[in-house]
Amino acid sequence: MRPTPSLVVAFVVALGATTLAPSAHADKRLADLVERVAPSVVNIYTGGVRSPATPWEAVFGGPQRWESLGSGFVIDAESCLVVTNQHVVGPADRIRVRAWDAREFDAEVVGADEGIDLAVLRVPGCELPAVTLGNTRDLRVGEDVFAVGNPYGHGNSVTRGILSARARSLGRARFDLFLQTDTAINPGNSGGPLFDDEGRVVGVNTAVDGRAEGIGFAMPVELLRGALRSLLKSRSVVAGWPGLKLEEHGSGRLQVLDVFAGGPAQKAGVLPGDLVDEVDGRPVRGRSGWAETFEIAFPGDTRKVALERGGRRVETELVLVDRAAWAAASVGPRAEIAFLGVEVQSLAPDDAAAFRLESGVQVTAASRRSYFARGDVFVELNGSLIRTLADLSRAAKQVERRRSMNAVFIRRGETRRIIHAW
């Protein structure tokens, strides 16, 4: 299980007891709901072989067998499709699904995406009912929620709590929007459903704050709905991008700082200095207000935005795009630098603005054995300034010829240096 960038987080979640003693009527109603939805929840057991990450590991230990467990829920009874977290299945070579009545099945991955942390499994012959997907737009903080999951492999267990907060960020690069709930946290609940008080799925239980008790996080069901379009076709899930940069004022109002050429905001007529009033008819204040509409967004989606410009109201519509496709159109295709184990691209205008650079070269993909990582921006290589792909290509050839490297680069906003000789 891996931590998120900004929190020490275990990717497990379940719902805990409310602080107020529920009435007998409430207990009976919850029991009725559980009887209805529990057959749609499954327990997932996975295993695989982890290859050595370094020569040292290869010599001392070799490949290591690993096992994991989690939860999931049926979204399509006819095709026996089950949703879970991607980190539950990972690179598994064996996936077993156990139904509420103790039947077990082999499962196969239909589609999985690490960035959004969702996976869809096909479980032939499961003959289980599907859940009903709800929505979170009108779900209020303080409302009752409950979960059914597989803590520590004990099988279907029911826990209950409330929605504690909306629009929480865990520091992910994309799709960084979570529901927060008070919860009893146990390994094995990852990927299970968070239900509202009508028995509809409103979230996918994904993470907890390992520093505290009663702080768990679930992905809003709207993210699942949007991701299914790609996952069912075994494609990567891409976020919708609006093509602008915002700044939050002390009052909570959002002002447009920058509009990127060729992006959705420029095409919609948005200008630097505009103040955001509403998105899709709802007032927007602060990052959380923006995230509630734009973190649940995919290429091709539209958002109606009301702006204040010079004291007057301006209404427009943004058609969101794939940022990578926009970047490729803006700065050209990617290139492979094989000796460094990286794939790179000229720095896109939005990243250049973030790094306060006029130009540069950024790593878009890196092999496991590379010294560099996705997102790194080259500054110098063996004394040569890196501003273009041609600069990097020439410098990399020198590194290969001399069998030595002195690299200066930016990683997560910090300037770093690597010196190495082969």
Q: What is the set of active-site residues? A: 87, 117, 190
C-alpha–C-alpha distance, residues 387 and 203, integer Å: 44
Which three-class secondary structure state does DSSP give residue 353?
helix
Which three-class secondary structure state does DSSP give residue 245?
strand
Burial class of residue 250 in the structure, from the number of CB atoms within 10 Å of its CB (0-12 exposed, 13-18 middle, 19+ buried):
exposed
C-alpha–C-alpha distance, residues 193 and 147, integer Å: 6
Token digits for 64?
């290591």
Distances (CA, A) of 318 to 202, 239, 350: 27, 14, 18
Could you tell me if 89 and 108 are in contact, meaning their C-beta atoms sit under 8 angstroms apart?
Answer: no
Residue with tokens 């995406």: 113
Amino acid identity, position 411: R
Query: Do the strands 312-319 and 302-309 form a parallel or antiparallel pair, or are they unpaired?
Result: antiparallel
Token digits for 74?
């049926």
C-alpha–C-alpha distance, residues 60 and 76, integer Å: 45
C-alpha–C-alpha distance, residues 390 and 337, integer Å: 11
Burial class of residue 53 in the structure, from the number of CB atoms within 10 Å of its CB (0-12 exposed, 13-18 middle, 19+ buried):
exposed
DSSP summary character for residue 326: H
By 3-state DSSP, what share of the chain in percent is helix, strand and coil, each rounded to 5?
20, 40, 40
C-alpha–C-alpha distance, residues 320 and 275, integer Å: 19
**Backbone dihedral angles phi then psi of residue 393, each to the nearest 5 degrees:** -60, -45
C-alpha–C-alpha distance, residues 186 and 235, integer Å: 31
CB atoms within 10 A of CB 82: 29
